[in-house]
Structure formats: structure tokens, C-alpha cells
Amino acid sequence: MLTAEDKKLITQLWEKVAGHQEEFGSEALQRMFLSYPQTKTYFPHFDLHPGSEQVRGHGKKVAAALGNAVKSLDNLSQALSELSNLHAYNLRVDPVNFKLLAQCFQVVLAAHLGKDYSPEMHAAFDKFLSAVAAVLAEKYR
Amino acid sequence: MVHWTAEEKQLITSIWSKVNVEECGAEALARLLIVYPWTQRFFSSFGNLSSPTAIIGNPKVRAHGRKVLSSFGEAVKNLDNIKNTYAKLSELHCEKLHVDPENFRLLGDILIIVLAAHFARDFTPACQFAWQKLVSVVAHALARKYH
């Protein structure tokens, strides 16, 4: 699914994210909660106000997981196996929501990188996020 | 009927007033064809779509992108009447163009990414919220007359 060119672009892109993981991750979540309020139903135990420490922490976690995935593009299934179990058996987040977070993460990238978020990078990263989502939902049934 | 708060309307119109329709329209359509290559199925008469560079430079893509985004402007001008504004276009997309409405959602999401790239920090989460709502309403209106 991910071509060699895709992998190169994804790696390059992530170099620009390094150092901003917590910021980008939490902004993506914040945008997702605002644009898609139904996603808040998975976080009844969180304070979701802007600036929430819990959201920052969770954003950092999500971005770190994506960063790990970027390092393991040749074997996403294995690298994300634990997270895949977690999502299938504990969290059971409906997979439709992965697309919503993917959209918001890309909006964050576009807002921060501007022109540097080229169409080619956009295509590769969209593919990457789809692949991650597919792995996370792999064990759902 | 869709309910828009005064704030949502303001966020939409203030971004729209600064949009370069030709540039953003071209970019949004090009990205649609690049990121979701199967959407090229509707544009076999457009000539060279063989690479991202070819797509971005393709004059038919640019012209059509501008046309599509200009039409979007009608929604912005008629926020309280989007359904009727797009009635004829909805029929067209169903009966003549045979476009799966899922494509409207794809293009809407891409447009938002293009706006984010252009407006950076000014494309705040609140802006995104209003615009996600708008693209969803437009997609819905365009699908409404399908049969």
C-alpha cells in the first residue's frame, strides 16, 4: 500500500513535526472535539476545556504513537499491535472516528507548514493515516 | 433548515472575503485528484493527469477548480438557503455527471486543508468548525436531489 516514495515523504514530513509533537497532537484533538462533538463521547472522564492538561497529555501520547508508526512503516501491524488490541478490546472507538482525527491532524499540519505541506506529502500522509486506522481496527471483529 | 449562529456566519464570510478563488479552487481540485486518484475517473477529458506535477499544471484542472469554488461562493452568499441554491446543481451531478456524493465530502475536507495552509493561525479551531459545517451542508444539498 505505501510505496517507497510515500515512505520517504512521510519520514521527511515527520522530521518537521519532531519537536512539536505535543503541540500538534493536542491541537488536533482540540479541533476534533470542536468540529466533531460526537468524538467527545469517548472522553467523559476528561476535562475538555481549551488548555486542558489531560488533552495536552493525550495529544502528546497520540502524536508519539504516530511517530512510532512512522519509524516502522515497513511493519505497521506489528508496531501498532498493542494499540490495536487496546482499541479492539478496551476502547472500542468506532473506526469512523479515525478519519475525523486524521482530518484534524492534517489541518494542523497544513496550518503550521503552509506550502510545505505539499500535495505529494498530503497524499502520502493521508495514505499513512488510513493505514494506521486500518491496523487499529484490524482486530475489531 | 440549517441554523447558523452569528459567529459561524462571521467566521465563514470573513475567511471567504480573503480567499483567492482561482488559486484555492485550483489547488483544492488538484489535491483531490492527487490524494484520491480514483476521482480522476470524472475527468478523462482533461488531458494529462499522470503525475502530481502534471495535475497541478493542468489548465483544465485549474479552470474547473475555479469554477467549482466560485459555485461554493453561492453557498456563502446564501447561507440560509443552501438547499435551494444547489437544487439544480444536485440534479446535474446526479443525472448528467453521475458523481457519487461521497466525492463532495472528500472535496470539502480537502478545501479545508487548503484553507488551513493559506490562513495558518487565522484558520482557528472555531473557523474550522464553521467551515466543516458549511462543507457538510453543501455536500448534503448537492446530494439531496439524487434518485
CB contact under 8 A, B31 and A35: no
Q: How far is A20 from chain B (nearest CA, A)?
A: 15
For residue B113, give the chain A residue with the closest CA.
A107
d(CA A21, CA A13): 12
3-class DSSP state for residue B14? helix
- CB of B51 less than 8 A from some CB of A: no
CB contact under 8 A, A103 and B112: yes
Number of domains in chain B: 1
AA identity, residue A65: A
d(CA B131, CA B11): 8
Q: What is the CATH number of the domain that holds B137?
A: 1.10.490.10
Is the distance from CB of B108 to CB of B115 less than 8 angstroms? no
pLDDT per position in chain A (141 positions), as tens? 899 999 999 999 999 998 999 999 999 999 999 999 999 999 999 999 988 999 999 999 999 999 999 999 999 999 999 999 999 999 999 999 999 999 999 999 999 999 999 999 999 999 999 999 999 999 999
Number of domains in chain A: 1
Q: Residue B12 belongs to what domain range?
A: 6-146
Q: Residue A132 belongs to what domain range?
A: 4-140
Q: How far is A70 from chain B (nearest CA, A)?
A: 19
Task: Dump pLDDT digits (tens) for B18-44.
Answer: 999 999 999 999 999 999 999 999 999
How far is residue A11 CA from its own chain's centroid? 15
Nearest to A123 among B34, B109, B129 (CB): B34
User: Which residues, other chains included, contact A74 with Cβ-Cβ below 8 Å and sequence gap of 6+?
Assistant: A7
Count other Cβ atoms within 10 Å, centred on residue A17. Answer: 20
CB contact under 8 A, B128 and A117: no
Q: Residue B33 falls within a domain, yes or no?
A: yes
How many separate helices (H) and strands (E) can be counted in chain A?
7, 0
Q: How far, in Å, are A71, A118, B30 from residue B34 at the CA level?
A: 25, 11, 6
DSSP per-residue codes, B94-136: HHTS---THHHHHHHHHHHHHHHHHHGGGS-HHHHHHHHHHHH
CB contact under 8 A, A30 and B112: no
Nearest to B125 among A30, A103, A112 (CB): A30
* Secondary structure letter of residue B45 according to DSSP: G
d(CA A75, CA B9): 46
Task: Dump pLDDT digits (tens) for B115-134.
Answer: 999 999 999 999 999 999 99
Count other Cβ atoms within 10 Å, centred on residue B10. Answer: 12
Write down the mean pLDDT value for chain B: 96
Q: What is the CATH number of the domain that holds A134?
A: 1.10.490.10
B contact test, residue of A5, A31, A52, A55 with most B CBs within 10 A: A31
Q: How far, in Å, are A42, A58, A92, A124 from residue B29 at the CA level?
A: 34, 34, 35, 17
DSSP per-residue codes, A75-141: -HHHHTHHHHHIIIIII---THHHHHHHHHHHHHHHHHHGGGS-HHHHHHHHHHHHHHHHHHHTT--
3-class DSSP state for residue B1? coil
Task: Dump pLDDT digits (tens) for B135-145.
Answer: 999 999 999 99
- CB of B89 less than 8 A from some CB of A: no
- CB of A103 less than 8 A from some CB of B: yes
Residues of B in contact with A104 (CB under 8 A): 128
Residues of B in contact with A123 (CB under 8 A): 31, 34-35, 52
Q: Residue B1 falls within a domain, yes or no?
A: no
d(CA B109, CA B106): 5
